[in-house]
Amino acid sequence: MNNSKEVVKLELCRACGSGNLLLFLQLGPTPVPNGFLRAHHRHRAEKFYPLDVCFCKDCGLVQLAHVVSPKVMFKNYVYIPSTSETMLTHFAALARQAIKKLNTEEGDLVLDIGSNDGTLLNSFKAQKMKILGVDPAENLAKKANQDGVETICALFTKELAKEIRKKYRQAKIITATNVVAHVHDLDNFLEGIKILLADDGLFISEFPYLIDLLEKVEFDTIYQEHLSYFSIYPFEKLLAKHALVLIDVQRVPVHGGSVRVFVSKKPGRVSRRVKKILQLEKKREILNPQTYLKFRKRVDRVRHELVQLLWGLRLKNKKIVGYGASAKGNIILNYCRIGPETLDYIVDSIPYKQGKYTPGMHIPIYPEAKLLEDQPDYTLLLAWNFADEIIKKQTEYRKHGGKFILAIPKLAIV
């Protein structure tokens, strides 16, 4: 069984403190999705953690019922977005937009929480802003510091915010992309933002959007690293609790559909987009428990259809591999019980993952070049959120008859 300090059961909603939680989905015991294994560790017992998802009937926040210690998941981290052209373009555009919105001056401080290898900060550095990163992954913070992006290796908390303010100053821009969903103590985190954000500054954050997750049945976004699945309704309520104001919101296409939120300490002019997105959420009945019970049925259907397709191809002796050893891919594999009997291997561009085995299903990972060398009949696109980029990159594979299988957002062969 798991060490009790490594996993804690949630009794109350992490946003509003209510005990009125509805458990609506159980994806089963699963290893942490970035827990890749070295060859000689494959025969050791792995730790499995529950993936139970709840809906708070009071504030509407969808959240995991168990919290795995961040030390288990983030101390040594294998995910780096900078290997993707899509993400490089996305981050550069985000930096340009932030600078334009705030009319920043050279030397203003930008703080990036969950700064990874410093990719987003480098876009601000190019605009001559003072940059500072915070990230709990020792390997990534070390690399960022070596590459000239000053990075504090820690989890962002209110206490750390006080230290940063004392040592540096308040930040004109605080960014946190794909971070808020990972935070357990949201109150402490937002207090930290308040301490560090300048009065005329903006906190800009991005996270996967619940409406996209529900509509496209992106159940593979649900894993231990993501503790909350936000819609704007509970997010705005949570901000209000900390006297923070949501002044703008924008839907962005990354990671299957995310939202970019703009948060201020001052009650300024609020964009019409905030009202519009709240209306959309009402229309999609995000506060109705039935919405989540229907989602559960759709998740089951995706598994059934995908497994049927893969088994059918295997019976015809077709060779199938995977593309993108993503965290979400590992959820698909574990939930659908797809292992090396079905996928010979997975190719991935991140060097930290190559030569290792996927958690739970133990599929070997190779560099992307292997796809053209082997020319398998079918490739299951586990990083379906980068379908356009990957399919374009692999034109040769398709020219030689190779086909991609997409399970999400809709089962398709291309």
Residues in touch with Zn ion (CB under 5 A): 13, 15-16, 18, 56, 58-59, 61
Q: Is the dihedral of CA 201, 204, 210, 215 positive or negative?
A: positive
In the complex with Zn ion, the residue whose CB is nearer, 121 or 232, is 232
Instruction: Choose, by CB under 6 A, the member of 122, 170, 326, 379 that binds ligand DWN.
Output: 326
Cβ distance 366 to 356 under 8 Å?
A: no
Residue 393: name its binding partner from Zn ion, ligand DWN, none (Cβ under 5 to 8 Å by kind).
ligand DWN
Angle at 275 between CA 271 and CA 281, to 5 degrees: 135
- Among residues 177, 161, 60, the alpha carbon closest in space to that of 124 is found at 177
In the complex with ligand DWN, the residue whose CB is nearer, 71 or 169, is 71
Q: If binding is defined by CB under 6 A, does position 350 make contact with ligand DWN?
A: yes
Q: Are strands 258-264 and 245-252 parallel, antiparallel or unpaired?
A: antiparallel
Residue 386: name its binding partner from Zn ion, ligand DWN, none (Cβ under 5 to 8 Å by kind).
ligand DWN
d(CA 402, CA 365): 19
Residue 361: name its binding partner from Zn ion, ligand DWN, none (Cβ under 5 to 8 Å by kind).
none
Instruction: Choose, by CB under 6 A, the member of 193, 327, 381, 387 that binds ligand DWN.
Output: 327
- Please classify residue 365 by burial: count the beta carbons closer than 10 Å to its beta carbon, then call 0-12 exposed, 13-18 middle and 19+ buried: buried
Cβ distance 156 to 189 under 8 Å?
A: yes
Number of residues that bind ligand DWN (CB under 6 A): 22
Q: If binding is defined by CB under 6 A, does position 218 make contact with ligand DWN?
A: no
d(CA 317, CA 315): 5
Site string for ligand DWN, 74-93 (x = CB under 6 A): -----x---xx---------
Instruction: Choose, by CB under 6 A, the member of 385, 387, 404, 408 that binds ligand DWN.
Output: 385
- Please classify residue 107 by burial: count the beta carbons closer than 10 Å to its beta carbon, then call 0-12 exposed, 13-18 middle and 19+ buried: exposed
Q: If binding is defined by CB under 6 A, does position 187 make contact with ligand DWN?
A: no
Site string for ligand DWN, 126-145 (x = CB under 6 A): --------------------
Our separate counts of H helices and E strands in the chain read: 14, 19
Q: If binding is defined by CB under 6 A, does position 328 make contact with ligand DWN?
A: yes
In the three-class reduction of DSSP (H, G, I as helix; E, B as strand; rest coil), residue 109 is classed as: strand
Q: If binding is defined by CB under 6 A, does position 204 make contact with ligand DWN?
A: no
Which stretches of the chain bind ligand DWN, using CB under 6 A? 79, 83-84, 178, 225, 255, 324-328, 348-350, 353, 368, 383, 385-386, 389-390, 393
